[in-house]
Amino acid sequence: MAVGAMIALRGELGHRPVGPLGRALATRAANLSKMLEARGPISPDAMSVEDARAIMRTFYRDNGRADGRDILSATGKMEHSEGVAVGINLRPGAASGYEVCTMRTAGCTAACVLETSARGKWANVRDGRDLLTEFLATEPQAFITLLAHELRTLVRKHGAVAFRPNIASDLRWEYIAPELFSIFGVRGYDYTKWNPLKHRGSLANYRLTYSVSESPLSEAIGAAYVKSGGTAAVVVDAPKHAVPAVWNGQPAVDGDATDDRTTDPTGCYVLLAVKADGKGDTSGFVKQLPLAVAS
């Protein structure tokens, strides 16, 4: 039996071909959040860590790699966050063959820093993210068991961990594996393009920052969320750490000072300086500073 077919049979959600061939054959990307939500909630402890490791080993070896890898990584400004901040680096958009950003727009896709930064363009980085995405899609139980094990290990070592499940995705983890946010010492956070007032669940230990896109509706959702005490991120055409302290009449913080969004004040904007291919944005995703601030 072909390797791809073996994995598809073994995987709990493996109803599509996997591996490079599978990606090439896929005509319409499967929505990974919906797939996992339908399977959830997935308890991390429904499988032993040893069994999960064995499944990961087999998966990675079948795909021509060594035994496996850590699920969690720290990238970019997460390395500059106070304390330990870690997250999951899937392949953004639908490039892996799975759609991981249901609400993405043309503007954010073109400007996506995870895909258009120098490192995000490296073939080996993209391949690694593709494979991790495929591992989550086809072996969600093993993925989540290993993820919880890594979080618990980090908490034992560091005392507390800031956890961003969607570094380069927008999966609704509160429905997929809510127990992850009950792990002692873990505080969760994410950016999301789902309307948090309507389409995201609410977990006390999982803080969501709405991510404003180029659409006027999105700007209105962001404003309503900030007024309700939430936080909304806006990418602005400004140098790093030179963003205004007020946006749209509300207080604003420098979103590049740290990646950890769990400590932001309530009811404020989070301003992020434009990066990578976002500097060529013409969609309106990147906002111009008001003239009084820019001059």
Residue ranges binding ligand SF4 (CB under 6 A): 92-93, 101, 104, 108-109, 112, 114, 168, 170, 193
Encoded amino acid at 245, one letter: A
Phi-psi region of 222 (alpha: psi -120 to 50; beta: other; left: phi over 0): alpha
Kindly state the smallest distance separating residue 83's Cβ from ligand SF4, in Å: 23
Bridge-based pairing of strands 246-247 and 250-254 is: antiparallel
d(CA 240, CA 227): 26
**Minimum CB distance to ligand SF4, residue 264 (Å):** 18
Query: In terms of DSSP bridges, do strands 30-31 and 98-99 run parallel, antiparallel, or are they unpaired?
Result: parallel
- Which is nearer to ligand SF4, 170 or 260 (by Cβ)? 170
Choose between 16 and 104: whose C-beta lies nearer to ligand SF4: 104
* Sign of the torsion angle spanned by Cα atoms 23, 24, 30, 35: negative
Nearer to ligand SF4, 35 or 154 (CB): 35
Beta carbons of 184 and 155 less than 8 angstroms apart? yes
CB of 234 to ligand SF4, least distance (A): 13
Task: State in angstroms the smallest separation of the CB of 175 from ligand SF4.
Answer: 18
CB of 236 to ligand SF4, least distance (A): 15
Q: Residues 17, 4: contact at Cβ < 8 Å? A: yes
Q: Which is nearer to ligand SF4, 193 or 287 (CB)?
A: 193
Q: How far is it, in rounded angstroms, from Cα 69 to Cα 143? A: 11
Of the pair 16, 193, the CB lying nearest ligand SF4 is at 193
Question: Tokens standing for 92?
Answer: 């953004």
CB of residue 167 vs ligand SF4: minimum separation in angstroms?
A: 8
Kind of pairing between the strands at 72-73 and 246-247: unpaired
**Nearer Cβ to ligand SF4, position 12 or 219?**
219
**Nearer CB in complex with ligand SF4: 55/108:** 108
The DSSP line for 219-251 is: HHHHHHHHHTT-EEEEEESS-TT---SEETTEE
Rounded to the nearest whole angstrom, what is the least distance from the CB of residue 168 to ligand SF4 in the complex?
5
For tokens 């007032």, name the residue: 197
Q: Which residues contact 141 (CB under 8 A, 6 or more apart)?
A: 12, 42, 46, 47, 52
